[in-house]
Structure 1
Amino acid sequence: MAEGQPRFLDRFSKGMKVSFVVLGYVLGIIGVLIDWAIGHKKKMMECSAEAIWYGLIGWGANVITRFILIATGVYAHFGLTDPVQGLFGPGVTAWNILWCICGACFIFLSMLWIYGLRTKMSDPERAYVMKGDDHFAPGTKTLRYDGGITVNALPETIWPYMQQAGQSKGGWYSFERLERLFTFDITNHYDWQKYPQWQNLHTGEFQWFHQAPWSIGEWVTDCSNGENGLYYWAAHSDTATDPTWKDRGPNQEGALRLWFKRFAWTWNWEVYQINETQSRFIYRCDCHFDPFLRTPIHKYFVVFILGTASLVMGRCCMETITKLSEGDRNFRKRYFE
């Protein structure tokens, strides 16, 4: 990194992260709760979440370790028993295998969230009001996540890649083959070109997320492509105001509704210069759905199913555009390309 702000802004030291894992490994769910209490002291939702995910990695590793000890006969050799996995029967049973798989899945899910949470806004950026933040009326309950990354390039170099975002243009610079596996028509361009025909981001444009079979996306409500030195866009999808996938717009645009009475989100992006050679690339997403807290299962669905994918895609998009802007041609091997 060039002299200036670091690429990523850490919430916890490496030692603290290791401590979270150890607590989860040694104390199990109790350790995870202790991790949550420690993270909660920072009064930031992402800190609480990150602490929990590190603890769950430790818990999952403990589950796998105990399964290995049972499967290899170590417990039997020393005449030991496992008070938890012993409930599933002696030796390697189907329930023991399922419990081990559960631990591995928690490790994988935790790593996805830690990956996605790695990019973050600074405290001043979190307090900053972005274009599009006013879509929801004051007092509306929303889930919020955000991201920020330092780029060794100026906004005029970064923004052209963002202008051509969307699956009808240059893609979202994310995991295209993984998304194709789920039948989405994804075509991203990692050839370091800025396509003139796509340098026309404008208000009212529909940015496709998926083109098949669920043709959903969001509408651009405000943008600036360098006018007055500003580089941003504000966008939203809202079933209360926009066409839905059951009643599409003239070009088959549709807002994602699922089973909610109302499902809406804003996704706002901005690039601003911080010194002679660096810029900050930030985004913020607010999500509202009705019913909200009255039915916690809906909240957990949005957080873990939709939220996990959004966090991973958001970070991958930011990192890819960062590498494109910096001219790093070795990053491609990190992705599904």
Structure 2
Amino acid sequence: MVTTLLVIVIILAIVFDFINGFHDAANSIATIVSTKVLTPFQAVLWAATFNFAAYFYFTDHKVADTVAKTVFAQYITLEVVLSGLIAAISWNLLTWYYGIPSSSSHTLIGGFAGAGMAKALTLGETAFNAVNFTPIIKVVSFIVLAPIIGMIIAVIINLIIINLSKNARPSTAEKWFKRLQLVSSAALSFTHGGNDAQKVMGIIFMALVANNVLDVNSPMPEWIPLSCYAAIALGTMSGGWKIVKTMGTKITKVTSLEGVSAETAGALTLGITEHFGIPVSTTHTITGSIIGVGLTKRISAVRWGVTYSLLWAWVLTIPVSATLAGVVFAVVHYVF
């Protein structure tokens, strides 16, 4: 039976994906904007196109399945899902306002887990009874691993490209790198859509299960991935210029060559983790990749003061989102 609360939850989930789009748009377009390969409008249109194109390729929904299992099914109610979404949306908007490239993935998972823990407490149980630590540990470990993997791959790719093109005429090489940036940014947008859209798909599916619309073993209705990919693409088209500025200029100055290296490294990392169903942060991954290309020049080329502030945001995202979701759940539980 479809209830008003279920409709609200689904709408909020799609809104979250929209916000995820403009919050994370900077991940795939920051370097092509900063190197003036495309104008800001052309860049967001380019990224949005490939965000949505991922719908036709990523059909296994492994990441969605991982997110859905972060809280045990017996603790998932519409109130839990609603509270997690409200917390995640709030944190995303706050970090977007201050131009902090935090993780939409981790705020959603933290919010979902926090609301589930609050639900367990209302049943007189220990809060951690609600949390499935197997996927949570996997997610938390990749807070560290994803940027490191992105950084290492970016360093390797950047050094290979530098050595292959060391005898090329600078003007000719620059022209080719700008063309290649279109390919690498498209690849990053494609894998970003494939990884990030799935996270909300898992949340919506569990909301339908909680409301007895679907069985937990049911196949995912096609309208869920279609609406999620469309929402994230539309969100990307709306921009997110504050974070574009941080990613494109504040961490390190990025050339077209380095943009190709960073975006390719980010796309490879996201593609690999999606294959294994790991919901990593696109933001963390591309930040690590950008740091990697900076390190190939010299350590001082990276603005470490900016990087440290980003690290604090990454560390705080899950616990702050979980706490906020617990508070929201207390209010929602009282109202409903």
Q: TM-score, normalised by structure 2?
A: 0.24
Query: Greater CA radius of gyration, 1 or 2?
Result: 1
Greater strand content: 1
More RCO (CA 8 Å, sep 6+): 2
Q: TM-score, normalised by structure 1?
A: 0.24
